[in-house]
Amino acid sequence: MAASPFMDAPVSVDNKTATAILQYKGVPNTVIPILPKLPSPNDTSFALDYNGKLRSLNTPNFPALVPLKVDRRLFYTIGLGINACPTCVNGTNLAASINNITFIMPKIALLKAHYFNLPGVFRTDFPDRPPKAFNYTGVPLTANLGTSTGTRLLRVNNRISSKFNR
């Protein structure tokens, strides 16, 4: 198994490939794995083709039933920002963000914190839209440099119609 970053913007990235070998039970150790040939980091057509093949598992046994009434509208922007970094060479680092927020990995699993009501692990005030508007599709790419950091979640209502309970 192998994975590498996709980057079609003119920004330098750490282009390291992550690899893993899965050893299935019953397969002899004499089978030598061959790593797949990965596309170029900026191969947009490959990335779009791959994303276009992602589908739900919609089957008669597991129908993809979704509510038809929209009761909340969310507007998410995925961006790249620059945050201060005192220990970095140039004093800043690139930070991916959703709605101007860069996720900070907590030391306790989010589901564990939720189910055991552990305080201080995450906040539930993730915004429905970016708190700071910017040109979401234009240039320059540095138009939205500052992001906030945190472990923030968006709670959605768990009201599910009886037709979804199987």
Q: Is 110 in the same domain as 157?
A: yes
Q: Is 84 in the same domain as 160?
A: yes
Residue 122: its pLDDT value, please? 96
When divided into structural domains, the chain yields a total of 2
Determine, yes or no, domain membership for 69. no
Encode 43-79 in three state secondary structure: CHHHHHHHHHCCCCCCCCCCCCCCCCCCCCCCCCCEE
Residue 140: its pLDDT value, please? 60
Q: Is 49 in the same domain as 99?
A: no
Structure tokens at 125: 């005030």
Alpha-carbon span 92 to 144, nearest angstrom: 14
Q: Is 84 in the same domain as 158?
A: yes
pTM for the full predicted model: 0.57
CB atoms within 10 A of CB 147: 20
Determine, yes or no, domain membership for 114. yes
Residue 94: its pLDDT value, please? 81
Q: Is 3 in the same domain as 45?
A: yes
Residue pLDDT tens, the chain, 166 long: 888 888 877 766 667 788 888 888 888 888 888 888 889 888 999 999 988 898 888 888 888 877 788 888 999 988 877 778 899 888 888 888 898 888 999 999 999 999 999 999 999 999 999 887 777 776 665 555 568 889 999 988 765 544 444 4
| Sequence-ordered list of residues with C-beta below 8 angstroms from that of 113, at least 6 positions apart, any chain | 106, 121, 122
Residue 162: its pLDDT value, please? 45
Determine, yes or no, domain membership for 36. yes
Q: Is 160 in the same domain as 89?
A: yes
Q: Is 29 in the same domain as 89?
A: no
Residue 2: its H or E element? strand 2-3
Q: Is 82 in the same domain as 156?
A: yes
Alpha-carbon span 97 to 80, nearest angstrom: 6
Host domain of residue 130: 78-164
Q: Are 127 and 99 in contact (CB under 8 A)?
A: yes
Question: Which residues, in sequence order, are bridge partners of residue 93?
Answer: 83
Q: Is 82 in the same domain as 135?
A: yes
